[in-house]
Amino acid sequence: MSAAGIAAEVAAGRVTAREVVREALARIAEADPSVRAFDSVWPARALEYAAAVDRAVGDGERLPLAGVPLGVKATQRLSAPSVARLVAAGCVPVGATATPGPGTPWQTWGMTDRGRTLNPLRPDLSPGGSSAGSAAAVAAGMVPLATGSDGAGSVRIPAAWCAVLGLKPTGGLLPLPGSPPGRPRRSVPGPLARTATDTAACFAALTGTSASAPGPPERPLRTAWSATLGCADTRQPVAATARAFLDELARTGAVAPRPAAVRLPDAADCWRTLRARRPPGTAAGPEGGTAAGPAAAAAADRTGAELAAELDRVFAAVDLLATPTTPNPPHGHHGPGEDMSVALTWAFNITGHPAISLPAGRTGAGEPVGLQLVAAHGREAELLAVAAAAETVPGPH
């Protein structure tokens, strides 16, 4: 059942949050030994949270996500503002979802003490990362919602490879503990879900706004398509699959693809330099970055300004920018090799633009592909409207 469906049933008293959570725990017990989406599961704690939801509903309190089982990314705490807001809306955290283990490439997979996290759609392929377990848990139907964080594509990439929805909100809109002071844009919390309605409900709870089921756009949104952004080495089957899905979206009337020359500077050095800008006493990240020197910092500032200027130009002419979510299909469990799975995502962490990954179908080899849509700052509603329209496209995607 969807998160919206669960919340409606619990609010109406047709089912209790405890019953919903027991069913979710049973699904996890059945599916997770093979998928390994969860680093840890919290049955007793989850049932305590569920009992509190039932008491609140019984007292007449309106909880927009009453009784919805929630996977929590292992790097986030229950006290994190984004998680706390979802719990306040009625979500029931049931466990910590897997993230990369020590010494593993941070952007491409998850690891538990029982082994590597598998992709529920293709167990021979990576689920993506770093919100690997969250995407896998949602894709496998263990939970309808899970939290993630996106510093370079860590919500959107696993969403693409597990064929679920992953939203990266506008930079700075939501607080993320541990973000360097004065630089709130790069890493942001974001939800993973199976439906546009659930994604919108989660986003509303995170932002403290009223939730309503998103409908298709009132007019076709002008959409620029770029398979490479002028800097990525995108594989032809991935580009073709994503573009075909965009064309299907156009047939629904949600988008109107426009020819556009989009050429962003390569964000790699800029992103790595920004990551290395960490406050004194802060541990280095998975890449072992150190403080950036003055020349590197100045170059990063120039690249950031160039990215912002080019995207300002793009969004002066169109409503949305569409790309494949990743330039390559999901890699195997041997690792990414030379692939840069973040090449189409991390620029928007630097500039703070909101973006969503939608399931776009599969390549001829059966590899899941995502379509990334990017909007101007604060225009998440347009992304969610197109996500709603995407659900009317026939066929598996």
Domain ranges of the chain: 3-207, 221-390
Catalytic residue among 149, 154, 187, 357: 154
Query: Could you tell me the fold of the domain covering 3-207?
Result: Amidase signature (AS) enzymes (3.90.1300)
The lowest-confidence range among 179-183, 207-211, 249-253, 258-262 is: 179-183
What is the percent of the chain with per-residue pLDDT over 90, rounded to a whole number?
81
Cα gap 15→8, rounded to integer Å: 9
CATH H-level superfamily of 221-390: Amidase signature (AS) domain (3.90.1300.10)
Q: Is there a catalytic annotation at residue 154? A: yes
Q: Where are the beta strands (DSSP E) in the chain?
A: 38-41, 69-73, 92-97, 111-112, 115-116, 145-150, 165-168, 188-193, 221-225, 255-258, 320-324, 355-362, 368-375
Nearest Cα neighbor of 241 from 347, 322, 338, 120 is 322
Q: Does the pLDDT value for residue 360 go beyond 80?
A: yes
Q: 82, 130, 131, 357: which is the annotated catalytic residue?
A: 130
**In 287-388, which ranges are E strands?**
320-324, 355-362, 368-375
- For the chain, the distance separating the N- and C-terminal CA atoms, rounded to the nearest angstrom, is 19
Q: Tell me which of 73, 126, 168, 226 is the catalytic residue.
A: 73
The two domains 3-207 and 221-390 share their CATH topology (first three levels equal):
yes
Q: Which residues share a beta bridge with 190? A: 148
Task: State yes or no: pLDDT of 284 exceeds 70.
Answer: no
Distance, in Å, from the CA atom of 126 to the CA atom of 367, rounded to the nearest integer, reads 11
Between CA 333 and CA 157 the distance in angstroms is 15
Torsion of CA 369, 393, 216, 89, to 10 degrees: -60
- Return the pLDDT at 104: 63
Beta carbons of 277 and 293 less than 8 angstroms apart: no
pLDDT bin (cut points 50, 70, 90) of residue 15 is very high
Name the one residue in this structure whose structure tokens are 């101007």.
376
CA–CA separation, 90 vs 94, rounded Å? 13
